[in-house]
């Protein structure tokens, strides 16, 4: 079963619908104890880093996810803010410790001189730097749908699987062991996004 974490930091309906559309056995996870019944997990998120981490900690999901993902090596997909929460720390809403799975900090995008706006909203091309099973069948410069104002600045370049040339640079995809995360929304990115979700359903770690 695929468990989609629902602790009040995201509207997860589109994620559930996309996985159901692909034939996945998916369930809304509303209590941390339910995490341990799942073979795979999805952590979506929207909003402030600080508020979201506070919610994860208050609900007990932070501890449950640490055990499931780090100790038990359950495969997990992070989406948008869900990806950012996997960093060591975030700067949005004040310096806040994250889940710590990707060493680095989540920092605000800095617009360049090319008319770029923050938040970054809309379709943009990614550049795949490293191969990964979840990107099988995805063109090296495919378009995906982004909605965000912050990005992961990873300390270890080995976790940066794909980037997006926007502002001072966006980490579009990060991955490490049983953890895979996208800054864009695969559930809103049409065929390419559905392909990533399909690959996640088939992923053998």
pLDDT per residue of the chain (205 residues) written in tens, 0 to 9: 999 999 888 889 999 999 999 999 999 999 999 999 999 999 999 889 999 999 999 999 999 999 999 999 999 999 999 999 999 999 998 899 999 999 999 999 999 877 789 999 999 999 999 999 999 999 988 999 999 999 999 999 999 999 999 998 999 999 999 999 999 999 999 999 999 999 999 999 8
Tokens of 93: 């809403």
What is the rounded distance in angstroms from the CA atom of residue 205 to the CA atom of residue 73? 8
Q: Which of 120, 187, 192, 198 is catalytic?
A: 187
pTM of the model as a whole: 0.96
Inter-residue contact 5 to 80 (CB < 8 Å): no
Active site residue 58: no
Active site residue 167: no
What is the rounded distance in angstroms from the CA atom of residue 185 to the CA atom of residue 164? 14
What is the rounded distance in angstroms from the CA atom of residue 102 to the CA atom of residue 160? 10
Q: What is the CATH number of the domain that holds 188?
A: 3.40.50.880
* Structural domain for 9, as ranges: 2-202
DSSP bridge partners of 129: none
Which of 153, 26, 167 minimizes the C-alpha distance to 83?
Answer: 153
Q: Which pLDDT score, from 0 to 100, does residue 7 have?
A: 83
Residues 6+ away with beta carbon under 8 Å from 175: 130, 132, 134, 159, 161, 181
Q: Which of 80, 92, 120, 164 is catalytic?
A: 80
Number of domains within the chain: 1
Active site residue 116: no
Q: Which of 120, 164, 167, 185 is catalytic?
A: 185
Q: What are phi and psi of 59, to 5 degrees?
A: -85, -10
Q: Which pLDDT score, from 0 to 100, does residue 66 have?
A: 98
């Amino acid at each position: 079963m695929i468990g989609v974490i629902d602790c009040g930091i995201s509207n997860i309906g589109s994620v559930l619908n996309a996985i159901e559309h692909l034939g996945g056995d998916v369930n809304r996870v509303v209590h941390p104890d339910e995490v341990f019944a799942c073979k795979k997990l999805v952590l979506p998120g929207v909003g402030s880093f600080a508020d979201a981490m506070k919610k994860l900690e208050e609900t007990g999901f932070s501890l449950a996810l640490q055990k499931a993902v780090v100790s038990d090596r359950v495969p997990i997909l992070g989406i948008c803010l869900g990806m950012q929460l996997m960093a060591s720390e975030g700067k949005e809403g004040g310096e806040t410790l994250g889940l710590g799975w990707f060493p680095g900090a989540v920092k605000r995008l800095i617009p360049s001189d090319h008319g770029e706006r923050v938040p970054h909203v809309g379709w943009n091309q990614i550049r795949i730097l490293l191969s990964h099973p979840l990107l099988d069948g995805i063109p090296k410069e495919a378009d995906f749908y982004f909605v965000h104002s912050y990005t992961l600045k990873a300390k270890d370049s080995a976790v940066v699987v794909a980037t997006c040339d926007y502002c001072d640079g966006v980490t579009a995809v990060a991955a490490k062991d049983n953890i895979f995360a996208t800054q864009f929304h695969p559930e809103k990115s049409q065929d390419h996004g559905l392909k990533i979700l399909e690959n996640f359903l088939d992923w053998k770690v």
